[in-house]
Structure 1
Amino acid sequence: MTLATTLLAAAEEAHHGNVAMETIIFGIVAVAIFAALGLVTFSYRDVANRHAGKAQAFAESRSTDLDHRAGHGH
């Protein structure tokens, strides 16, 4: 037997019905991963507004430092 005939015989024996049904699990896994990543992304929405009070207090404490640098960058 040659290598080609051995590979052909192995390929014929290894085929088990509908290939699409065998590979559907990859699509299901991909959808599950994208859904999990989407939930992680969704959980970060509006994070900046959760600390708006701290941001406002920080901006007010730094506002006097910025007044003497008028025209910075121009």
Structure 2
Amino acid sequence: MSLLVTLAASTEELAPLLMPPLAFAGIAAAIFIALGFVVFSFRDVANRQGQGAGKSSDTHGSGH
């Protein structure tokens, strides 16, 4: 029991953070939104590549 009382009574100073916790959350949200814009900007690339590949394979006389 004395070990538990000793651990509870000892107060260690925690390491200080570089900035408030909400600032870390804000930075994470900003990065998430920026990456969302990157993904959103490439939303139609597969459709454009599929149309281009279909036209080029038709002109080469492939039988597939």
TM-score bracket for the superposition, by shorter chain length: 0.5 to 0.7
Higher-helix-fraction structure: 1
AA of the residue aligned to 1:31: A
Corresponding position of 1:58 = 56
1:58 is displaced (CA, Å) by 1.2
In the alignment, structure 1 segments of 5+ residues that lack a partner are 1-6
From 32, 38, 41, the equivalent of 2:39 is 41
1:31 is displaced (CA, Å) by 0.2
Q: Distance in 2 between matches of 1:44 and 1:63?
A: 31
Q: Percent identity?
A: 38
Corresponding position of 1:4 = none
1:63 is displaced (CA, Å) by 4.2
How many corresponding residue pairs?
Answer: 52
Q: Distance in 1 between matches of 2:44 and 2:22?
A: 36
Moved over 4 A (4+): none
Q: Distance in 2 between matches of 1:33 and 1:49?
A: 27
1:26 is displaced (CA, Å) by 0.3
